[in-house]
Structure 1
Amino acid sequence: MISAVVWGTGNVGRLSIRAVEAHPALKLTGVIVHDPGKDGRDAGDLGGLGRRLGVAATTEIDAVLATGPQAVVYAASGDIRPDDALADILRAIRAGAVVVTPALYALYDQRNAPPEMREAVLDAVAEGGGSLFVSGVDPGWGNDVLPLLISGLGGTIDVIRCQEIFDYSTYDQPDSVRYLVGMGQPMDYEPPMLAATVPTMVWGGQIRLMARALGVDLDEIRETVDRLPLDATVTTTSMGDFEKGTQGAVRFEVQGIVEGEPRIVIEHVTRIHPSCAPDWPSPPDGDGAHRVVIEGDPRIEVTVEATDEEGNRAAGGNATAVGRLVGAVDWLVDAEPGLYDALDVPLRPAVGKLGKTTGGTAP
């Protein structure tokens, strides 16, 4: 069994505890938390499993890494603390651990990452013998391995489009929804997630990764952003009211330009209520879906709907992203120490998982 630690117990961390517990080759041996209020709580409680796992969370990072875990699932956020997240991850790599994480956007396409970041990781690998694999939670596989796999089924290809289409009214993340994305804010509010260059910072690595896999050269990466106001006040179950006239829908694209045309596109269409922006793409049913469209001959469209035990597709999508990361751990442990991306790490069958359940309710 591979000893594994989960670092961070927010939305991604809770799902990571569940994924490690479900993986037949992994054994959860530690949980690192930053909140003193979580210190000492059982991992099963923090993971929403409804049963104890006998692993107590701790704020003592050095003590956990001193036990020599073979793997660390780094689930703490890097959105507003990228330098701290990188420092934590380097610490774990130097301790000899394989690290998987969604926290470092710049390393989605590690070969084209900023040289100073890449060199810092490779120095840590050389020093401690660990490894690093970064993939997104939106989910990463929907913007790399899935579209690339489907592209191989086509004859000619004009555009590869990866879409995330979601109604956020059931998404219990008010800080992200209201302030990062700007839902419910006046139309003159500038959401940090939509500021110029930010979408490229977050998703540009996946555009570059797909271009590299497809053997094409990018002229540049462009962004487009559209925002629409609510026509009427709406009330959500988890986040309260969103007033008429405030932002109710966002649509943006990160476009990989090849020979002057957008050929590789990552698009997000997000609403706070289905009534807003009715002309924009919508999920087939429910609150959301991920979709890959290959425009060409033939035209290929694949829609993925991942739903958690309570019917929430946003959480379901996050769970599949975590599954991709945790599912790579045993492969990475057997591989040479290094810095890996989605083109290096295979997506494999769920050997040993069929019929296995962790129990509990996904948070």
Structure 2
Amino acid sequence: MIPTVVWGTGNVGRAAVRAVEAHPALTLAGVLVHSAAKVGRDAGELAGLGQEVGVAATDDVDAALAAGARAVVYAASGDLRPAEALDDVVRAVRAGAVVVTPALYPLYDRHGAPGEFRDPVLAAVAAGGGSLFVSGVDPGWANDVLPLLISGLGTTVDAIRCQEIFDYSTYDQEDSVRHLIGMGQPMEYEPPMLAPSVPTLVWGGQIRLIARALGAELDAVTESLARRPLGATVRTRTMGEFAAGTQGAVRFEVRGIVGGEPRIVVEHVTRIHPSCAPDWPAPPGGGDGAHRVIVEGRPRIEVTVEAADEGENRSAGGNATAVGRLVNAIDWLVDARPGLYDALDVPLRPAAGRLGRK
């Protein structure tokens, strides 16, 4: 069994605790939390498992890493604290742990990663013998392994589009929804995640990774953004009221330009209520969210994936599948050589030993 620490118990961390508990090759060795109110509480309670698992949450990073952790799921956010997240991850890799995380966007594509992110990780690998694999929580598999798999079914490929279509009204992370993305803010508000060049910073690595896998040379990576106001005030179950006239929907694209044309596109369509921007793409059947890959070519192929977790909450389902990709890679990474890995290195494997497992 591989002793595994989950670092953080938010949306991603809760799913990570459940995934580690369910994995036959892993054992939950610790849970790290930031909030003093969570210290000492059982991980099963924090993760919504409905039962205790005998692991108490702690805020003592040194003790958690020194207790023999072979792997770390770093589930703390890096959105507003990329330098701190990098420091945390480097600390764990230097301690000899295999680390998996969605927090370090620049490392989605290890070949094109900026030196200020890549070099400290490689130095930690050399010093401590750990490893790092980064994959997105949006989720990453929908922007790398799935489109690449589907592309291999066609005769010709003209373009690949990866879509996340998401209703934020069910998302349990109000600060991100209102301030990072700007839902419910005046239209003149400039959300940090939508500022010029930020979408490319976050998703450009996935564009480069797909291009590398397809042997395509990128001319450039560009982006576009559209925002719509709410036509009427709406109230959500998790975050309360969003006023008419404030931002209610966002649509942006990060585009890989090949031969002068956008050939690889990552597109996000997000709303706080289905009534906003009804002419934009929507989840099938009026659901909360979906991930779609469209391969334009011969034949034209379209695949839509929906996932639900924590009841019927499809927003949590997206997190859970992203976490599943990361956690299910841990045993492979433990057996592999120490290093920095990305989605083209780490195989997506069957859920061996987990059929019918609670």
* 1:164 CA drift (Å): 0.4
Say which SS state the counterpart of residue 189 (structure 1) adopts.
coil
Q: Tell me the amino acid that sits aligned with residue 12 of structure 2.
A: V
1:249 and 2:244 correspond:
no
Unaligned runs of 5+ in 2: none
Say which SS state the counterpart of residue 322 (structure 2) adopts.
helix
Equivalent residue runs for 1:21-32 within 5 Å:
21-32=21-32
Q: Tell me the amino acid that sits aligned with residue 206 of structure 1.
A: Q
**Cα RMSD, aligned residues only:** 0.9
Q: Tell me the amino acid that sits aligned with residue 190 of structure 2.
A: E
* 1:93 CA drift (Å): 0.8
**Mapped contact 2:11–2:172 kept (Cα < 8 A):** no
Give the TM-score of the pair, scaled to structure 1.
Answer: 0.97
For 2:182 and 2:163, the matched residues in 1 are separated by 20
- 2:198 aligned partner: 198
Identity of aligned residues (%): 75
Deviations 1:182-223 (A, max 9, x none): 111111111111100010011000000000001001111101
For 1:126 and 1:284, the matched residues in 2 are separated by 47
**Mapped contact 1:140–1:321 kept (Cα < 8 A):** yes
Q: Tell me the amino acid that sits aligned with residue 313 of structure 2.
A: N
For 2:155 and 2:247, the matched residues in 1 are separated by 41
Give the TM-score of the pair, scaled to structure 2.
Answer: 0.98
Equivalent residue runs for 1:122-141 within 5 Å:
122-141=122-141
- 2:213 aligned partner: 213
* 1:116 CA drift (Å): 2.9
For 2:232 and 2:40, the matched residues in 1 are separated by 46
Equivalent residue runs for 1:1-363 within 5 Å:
1-285=1-285, 286-357=287-358
For 2:337 and 2:26, the matched residues in 1 are separated by 19
* 1:130 CA drift (Å): 0.5
Say which SS state the counterpart of residue 124 (structure 1) adopts.
helix
Q: Tell me the amino acid that sits aligned with residue 331 of structure 2.
A: D
Say which SS state the counterpart of residue 255 (structure 1) adopts.
strand
* 1:64 CA drift (Å): 1.4
For 1:277 and 1:212, the matched residues in 2 are separated by 34
Q: Tell me the amino acid that sits aligned with residue 150 of structure 1.
A: I
* 1:68 CA drift (Å): 2.2
Q: Tell me the amino acid that sits aligned with residue 219 of structure 1.
A: D
* 1:343 CA drift (Å): 0.2
**Mapped contact 1:68–1:96 kept (Cα < 8 A):** no
Q: Tell me the amino acid that sits aligned with residue 200 of structure 2.
A: T
Say which SS state the counterpart of residue 21 (structure 1) adopts.
helix
For 1:179 and 1:119, the matched residues in 2 are separated by 31
Say which SS state the counterpart of residue 112 (structure 1) adopts.
coil
* 1:336 CA drift (Å): 0.5
Q: Tell me the amino acid that sits aligned with residue 333 of structure 2.
A: L
For 1:265 and 1:281, the matched residues in 2 are separated by 15
For 1:31 and 1:274, the matched residues in 2 are separated by 37
**Mapped contact 2:110–2:341 kept (Cα < 8 A):** yes
Unaligned runs of 5+ in 1: 358-363
Counting matched residue pairs gives: 357
For 1:339 and 1:291, the matched residues in 2 are separated by 28
For 1:108 and 1:168, the matched residues in 2 are separated by 24
For 2:262 and 2:176, the matched residues in 1 are separated by 29
- 1:361 aligned partner: none
